[in-house]
Amino acid sequence: MSKLDSLRAALAHSPDNVPLLLVFGDACLEEFAADEARTTFEAALRLDPANPAAGLGLARALHLLGRASEAILRTEALVAAHPRHAPAHLWLARWLLDDGNPAAARTAYQKALAIDPAARDEALEQTLGATAAPAPGAAKQIPLTAQGAQPAEPATSDSDDEEPGDLERVAEYELPTDVERPSLTFADVGGMDSVKEQVRMKILFPLQHPELFKAYGKTAGGGVLLYGPPGCGKTLLSRAVAGEIKARFLSVGIHQVIEMWLGKSEQNLHALFEYARRNAPAVLFFDEVDALAANRTDLRASAGRTLINQFLAEFDGTNGANDGVLVLGATNAPWHLDPAFLRPGRFDRVLFVPPPDEPARAAIAGVLARGKPVEKFDPAALAKRTKDFSGADLRAVFEQASERALTEAMKRGQIVPLGTDDLVRAAKDVKPSTRAWFESARNHALYANQSGFYDDVLVHLGLKR
């Protein structure tokens, strides 16, 4: 059985599996099966319209079919919607060069290298005469006024009928992170019912009914800190929040803010808040927020303290009103945060995200089983045998069981379904990652909890009612 035949058989059993569709589409392109590749990527886009890999795959299939102009137009729209997707810039450079536009091709190629230096194409480089990649950070930066306060106005529109690609296009500068419109909702997040209810009351309701809050002199937005063991769904929940309120979602990591040049980190942080203010409702999600909001007493370098001061100023709306901007922070180590971030008006709502209980683990298992060739699968039976497992641990169980089934499927040349026994067997090889976190958290909750910040941890451990 050929590679394409094996993948076709897998798709027949799991037709809505987007990663599998992408693998099959790429295999079709390798075999020059352009028509089948186009059909496959179109199916992936129907399931996940914002998937950049599917969009680029469709453009490649169209180019292979001789529809070069349409491929270029689609890829230009793709890089506008996903400006940090290096493969799209690279393919656009190749096609623009073939189309007789070397200047635009050189620009696209340089953008690809600025995002991912590993995207270098020596043959293309030689043709373009581009002998070196631009230095990191060489992309157009935010123009500041003489006072260094406000960046130029980004090009946006207030129309509700815009396509997602138009919403994320910024004319004067590139943000240090991508902007998304997640389709994920709470229905896609297994378990966590009590946390979801708190999020609805503390986050969603104020943003969905701002007129009621305005009547009481309160504004929508603010800051919410999610803390708990790693892999328990803090990031997933944050994306679902943005999906529930149909807001723009900016996921920010430390590498997207910190720069070696003096003042550049603060500038990146200001750009993120400024974009969110001008495009509210928007969700700014800071993963591992303790890296950007560390306790200043632990920092000797003035540069780190300056960045924290900038973060606090942006939080307070000193450089602009934050009405309609929701700041979500996630951390595994809340004890490392500067106390100034926990006062009212900043991260004034703190939610503990515990490991999933047994019903929640069953719900997560059901979500993880979607699109996979499962047979005689009992989520409740798996949940009983995975005490203390996080959502990420459960995903690892499915991945290990899938790898074993795939190995067997390659030998037989046909799909081998996953059952409860396969998953329980895989669970024995995965150790719960939450136990180490609770060992550390327990000490902080018992001996550094004067303000009651860690009471939820004590309740979870059965040390407090």
Considering the domain architecture, whether residues 222 and 289 belong to the same structural domain is answered as yes
pLDDT band at 152 (very low <50, low <70, confident <90, very high): very low
Provide the whole-model pTM: 0.60
Considering the domain architecture, whether residues 111 and 198 belong to the same structural domain is answered as no
> Per-residue pLDDT tens for 335-370?
989 989 988 878 888 899 999 989 989 989 998 998
DSSP calls for 116-183: -GGG--HHHHHHHT--SPPPTT-S--PPB-TTS--BPPP-----TT--HHHHT--SS---SS-EE---
Judge contact between 249 and 327, C-beta under 8 A: no
Would you say residue 77 has pLDDT above 70? yes
Residue 138 lies in a domain: no
pLDDT band at 143 (very low <50, low <70, confident <90, very high): very low
312-321 mean pLDDT: 78
Long-range pairs for 4-11: beta carbons < 8 A, 24 or more residues apart: 4/28, 4/31, 4/33, 6/409, 6/410, 6/413, 9/414, 9/415, 10/373, 10/409, 10/415
Considering the domain architecture, whether residues 363 and 337 belong to the same structural domain is answered as no
Considering the domain architecture, whether residues 317 and 368 belong to the same structural domain is answered as no
The residue out of 68, 95, 128 marking a domain boundary is 128
Please list, in sequence order, all residues whose beta carbon lies within 8 angstroms of the beta carbon of residue 422, skipping any fewer than 6 positions away.
Answer: 401, 404, 405
pLDDT band at 320 (very low <50, low <70, confident <90, very high): low
Considering the domain architecture, whether residues 225 and 368 belong to the same structural domain is answered as no
The residue out of 288, 319, 352 marking a domain boundary is 352
pLDDT band at 206 (very low <50, low <70, confident <90, very high): confident
Considering the domain architecture, whether residues 219 and 327 belong to the same structural domain is answered as yes
Considering the domain architecture, whether residues 362 and 315 belong to the same structural domain is answered as no
> Per-residue pLDDT tens for 241-282?
888 888 888 888 887 888 878 788 888 898 899 888 888 888
Task: Please tell me what DSSP assigns to residue 2.
Answer: -
Residue 143 lies in a domain: no
Task: Provide the β-strand partners of residue 297.
Answer: none
Instruction: Supply the CATH number for residue 9's domain.
Output: 1.25.40.10
Residue 134 lies in a domain: no
Residue 191 lies in a domain: yes
Considering the domain architecture, whether residues 118 and 238 belong to the same structural domain is answered as no
Judge contact between 238 and 226, C-beta under 8 A: yes
76-93 mean pLDDT: 90
> The tokens of 410 are what?
């390659």
Considering the domain architecture, whether residues 207 and 332 belong to the same structural domain is answered as yes
| Maximum C-alpha span of the chain | 72
Of 315-324, 370-379, 440-449, the least confident: 315-324
Residue 51 lies in a domain: yes
Residue 400 lies in a domain: yes
Instruction: Supply the CATH number for residue 328's domain.
Output: 3.40.50.300
Average pLDDT value for the chain: 81
pLDDT band at 134 (very low <50, low <70, confident <90, very high): very low
Considering the domain architecture, whether residues 381 and 298 belong to the same structural domain is answered as no
Q: What percent of the chain stands above pLDDT 90?
A: 27
Considering the domain architecture, whether residues 204 and 311 belong to the same structural domain is answered as yes
Would you say residue 53 has pLDDT above 60? yes
Give the strand pairing for 222-227 and 349-352. parallel
> Which range has highest mean pLDDT (68-82, 212-226, 380-394)?
380-394
Task: Please tell me what DSSP assigns to residue 284.
Answer: E
- The 10 Å Cβ neighbour count of residue 291 is 16
Considering the domain architecture, whether residues 335 and 375 belong to the same structural domain is answered as no
Q: Where are the beta strands (DSSP E) in 193-267?
A: 222-227, 248-252
Please list, in sequence order, all residues whose beta carbon lies within 8 angstroms of the beta carbon of residue 389, skipping any fewer than 6 positions away.
Answer: 355, 356, 361, 397, 427, 430, 432, 434
Give me the pLDDT at residue 432, please. Answer: 92
> Per-residue pLDDT tens for 155-168?
333 434 443 433 33
302-320 mean pLDDT: 79
| Torsion angle defined by CA atoms of residues 191, 195, 201 and 203, in that order, rounded to the nearest 10 degrees | -100
Burial class (CB in 10 A: 0-12, 13-18, 19+), 439: exposed
pLDDT band at 104 (very low <50, low <70, confident <90, very high): confident
Task: Provide the β-strand partners of residue 227.
Answer: 331, 352
Residue 142 lies in a domain: no
> The tokens of 98 are what?
């073939």
Residue 316 lies in a domain: yes
Would you say residue 34 has pLDDT above 70? yes
C-alpha 67/C-alpha 65 separation (Å) is 6
Q: What amino acid is encoded at 143 in this protein?
A: P
How many separate domains does the chain show?
3
Give me the pLDDT at residue 169, please. Answer: 37
The residue out of 111, 128, 145 marking a domain boundary is 128
Give me the pLDDT at residue 220, please. Answer: 67
CA-nearest of 386, 384, 418 to 404 is 418
Instruction: Supply the CATH number for residue 395's domain.
Output: 1.10.8.60
Task: Please tell me what DSSP assigns to residue 201.
Answer: I
**Residue-range definition of the domain harbouring residue 279:** 176-352
